[in-house]
C-alpha cells in the first residue's frame, strides 16, 4: 500500500489519475478480429474460439439439452441465492418504470414522451478468471422488465466447449434462452454485425477485459450502441475513527481480487484507523485464495490521510469512483455531498459485495472516472424516449409568430414558411 498523508490539493490530480495503457497495438489487433468476423461470420468466430478459448465448436448456440443439464450441476443453495438476487434486482428496477405525462406548454400545444424498449440487445458475460453469473442477472433482468424483444447472450466456453452451468442457470432464471458460446472480441463482433447464427443487436452491454472493452468502443463508432465506456473495476472507501477496520479491509480486498489492474483507494480521516485498516488488510490478505492477484493490486493502491470528512468527500468526488463506501459515523448525511460515483454504500454494514450480488442495485457501473458523466446500467439503459407534440389551430396562434421569427433570424426560410402558411390558414 502507498500511504499519503495530508496531500495538498495541488497533488490531487496525481492521486486520482488512473494508469494509462498504450493501446495502439491493442487497437490494431481488435480491429483485425472485428473485420474478420464482419466478413466471414460464423467461420471466423469458430476459428477465434479455437485460437483463444481452445474450444472446437460445431454449433455456437447453447442447446436446450445443455440448459437442462446445467440445472442439475448447480447446487440448490446457489439456485436459491440466484432466485433471491433476481427478485431484489427485479423489484428495484421495476420501480424505475417511466410514467408519461402530457404537458400543455402553451394553449393548444401539447407535448409528451413515450418510453420504448430497445428491440434487440446483446449481453456479454465474462467467463475467464471468474465466471460472472451475477452479471447475467444484472443485465438480463432490466432487459426483460423493459420489454426488449430479443436478448442475445454471449459467454466464452471452456476447452471442452461447455459454458459454466451457473451462468446458464442465471440465464434461465432471468428468462434468457438465446445463448452463444462465444467470448472476447469475436463475441462483440458477432453481436455488432450479426452472423449466420448470432442475430445483430442494437446495443451491447457488459464488462470484459481490455480487448472486450476496446472492441465495444470500436463497434460503437459506426455499428451499435454500448452501455458505457469502462476501464478496470475500482472502489473508494471513506473511513473515520468509527469504522470497523476489519470490514474496511475486507471491502478493499474484495475489490483487489478482481484483477491486478483493479483500483483501490482508501481515504481516512484518522491515522489510527488508517494504520488499523492497513494491518487488517495484510492479515486478511494471507487467507485469500486469490492472494497473488490481490497482492499485486495493493502495490499500486493508495491509502490517503486527510483532515476531515468534507475533505475526504471532495477528494472522492474528484476521483469519481465506480464504488464508494462511506464507513463513517453519519454516512447518510455525508452522502448528500456525493456528486460523482457509480454506486454508494452507506454505513459499516453496506459492503460492496451486497450491491455486486443481491441488494437489488445494478453492478454494471462507470469506471475510470466516467462517473462524472455516466450512470450505471438501469431500466432507462434499455429504453429510448420518443417525444410527441400535438398542435391545434389555437396552438399555431400561440407559438407561430415566435417560430417564424426564430427561423427567419437563423436564415432558414423553409422552416419559417412551414409555420407561416399555417398561421395564414388559421387567421380569421
Binding site annotation covers 363? Answer: no
Residue 55: predicted pLDDT: 94
Residue 258: predicted pLDDT: 83
Question: Which of 323, 363, 368, 370 is flagged as catalytic?
Answer: 323
Whether 323 is catalytic is yes
Residue 327: predicted pLDDT: 98
Residue 129: predicted pLDDT: 64
Residues of the chain short of pLDDT 50, as ranges, are none
User: For residue range 52-69, what is the model confidence (pLDDT) as tens digits?
Assistant: 999 999 999 999 999 999
Whether 311 is catalytic is no
Residue 12: predicted pLDDT: 96
Question: Which of 257, 322, 363, 368 is flagged as catalytic?
Answer: 322
Under CATH, to which class is 231-355 assigned? alpha beta
Q: How is 10-53 classified by DSSP, letter by letter?
A: GGHHHHTPPP----HHHHHHHHHHHHHHHHHTHHHHHHHHHHHS
Strand residue runs (E) in 141-208: 150-155, 178-181, 203-205
- Cell 407559438 found at: 399
Distances (CA, A) of 329 to 309, 322, 348: 10, 22, 9
Binding site annotation covers 262? Answer: no
Binding site annotation covers 233? Answer: yes
User: For 24-99+118-226, CATH number?
Assistant: 3.40.50.1980
Angle ∠(88,181,168) on CA atoms, nearest 5: 30
Strand partners, 324: 236, 344
Residue 203: predicted pLDDT: 98
User: Is residue 180 classed as helix, strand or coil in its secondary structure?
Assistant: strand
Contact yes or no for 82/137 (Cβ under 8 A): yes
Location of each CATH 3.40.50.1980 domain in the chain: 24-99+118-226, 231-355
Binding site annotation covers 124? Answer: yes
User: For residue range 30-50, what is the model confidence (pLDDT) as tens digits?
Assistant: 999 999 999 999 999 999 999
Buried b (16+ CB within 10 A) or exposed e, 49-72: beeebebebeebebeeebbeebee
What does DSSP say about strands 150-155 and 178-181: parallel, antiparallel, or unpaired? parallel
Enter the C-alpha cell of residue 264.
Answer: 483501490
Amino acid at each position: 500500500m502507498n500511504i499519503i498523508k495530508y496531500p495538498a490539493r495541488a497533488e490531487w490530480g496525481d492521486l486520482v489519475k488512473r494508469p494509462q495503457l498504450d493501446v495502439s497495438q491493442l487497437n490494431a489487433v481488435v480491429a483485425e478480429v472485428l473485420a474478420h468476423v464482419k466478413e466471414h461470420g460464423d467461420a471466423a468466430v469458430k476459428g477465434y474460439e479455437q485460437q483463444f478459448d481452445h474450444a472446437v465448436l460445431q454449433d455456437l448456440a447453447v442447446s436446450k439439452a445443455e440448459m437442462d443439464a446445467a440445472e442439475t450441476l448447480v447446487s440448490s443453495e446457489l439456485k436459491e441465492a440466484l432466485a433471491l438476487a433476481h427478485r431484489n434486482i427485479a423489484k428495484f428496477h421495476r420501480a424505475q418504470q417511466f410514467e408519461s405525462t402530457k404537458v400543455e406548454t402553451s394553449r393548444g400545444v401539447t407535448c409528451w414522451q413515450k418510453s420504448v424498449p430497445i428491440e434487440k440487445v446483446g449481453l456479454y458475460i465474462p467467463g475467464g478468471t471468474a465466471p460472472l453469473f451475477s452479471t447475467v442477472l444484472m443485465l438480463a433482468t432490466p432487459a426483460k422488465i423493459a420489454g426488449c424483444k430479443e436478448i442475445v447472450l454471449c459467454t466464452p466456453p471452456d476447452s471442452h466447449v461447455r459454458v459454466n452451468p451457473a451462468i446458464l442457470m442465471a440465464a434461465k432464471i432471468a428468462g434468457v434462452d438465446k445463448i452463444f458460446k462465444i467470448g472476447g472480441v469475436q463475441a462483440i463482433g458477432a453481436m455488432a454485425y450479426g452472423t449466420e447464427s448470432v442475430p445483430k443487436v442494437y446495443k451491447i452491454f457488459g464488462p470484459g477485459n481490455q480487448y472486450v472493452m476496446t472492441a465495444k468502443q470500436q463497434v460503437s463508432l459506426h455499428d451499435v450502441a454500448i452501455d458505457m465506456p469502462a476501464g478496470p473495476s475500482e472502489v473508494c472507501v471513506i473511513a473515520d475513527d468509527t469504522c470497523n477496520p476489519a470490514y474496511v479491509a475486507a471491502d478493499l480486498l474484495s475489490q483487489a481480487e478482481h484483477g491486478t489492474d483493479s483500483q483501490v483507494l482508501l481515504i481516512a480521516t484518522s491515522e489510527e484507523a488508517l494504520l488499523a485498516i492497513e494491518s487488517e488488510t495484510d492479515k486478511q490478505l494471507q487467507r485469500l485464495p486469490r492472494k497473488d492477484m490481490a497482492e499485486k493490486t495493493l502495490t499500486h493502491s493508495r491509502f490517503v490521510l486527510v483532515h476531515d470528512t468534507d475533505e475526504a468527500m471532495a477528494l472522492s468526488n474528484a476521483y469519481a469512483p465506480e464504488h464508494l463506501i462511506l464507513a463513517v459515523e453519519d454516512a447518510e448525511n455525508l452522502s448528500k455531498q456525493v456528486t460523482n460515483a457509480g454506486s454508494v454504500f452507506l454505513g459499516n454494514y453496506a459492503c460492496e459485495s451486497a450491491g455486486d450480488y443481491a441488494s437489488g442495485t445494478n453492478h454494471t457501473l462507470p469506471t475510470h472516472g466516467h462517473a462524472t458523466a455516466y450512470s450505471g446500467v438501469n431500466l432507462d439503459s434499455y429504453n429510448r424516449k420518443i417525444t410527441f407534440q400535438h398542435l391545434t389551430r389555437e396552438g399555431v396562434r400561440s407559438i407561430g409568430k415566435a417560430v417564424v421569427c426564430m427561423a427567419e433570424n437563423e436564415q432558414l426560410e423553409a422552416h419559417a414558411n412551414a409555420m407561416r402558411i399555417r398561421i395564414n390558414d388559421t387567421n380569421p
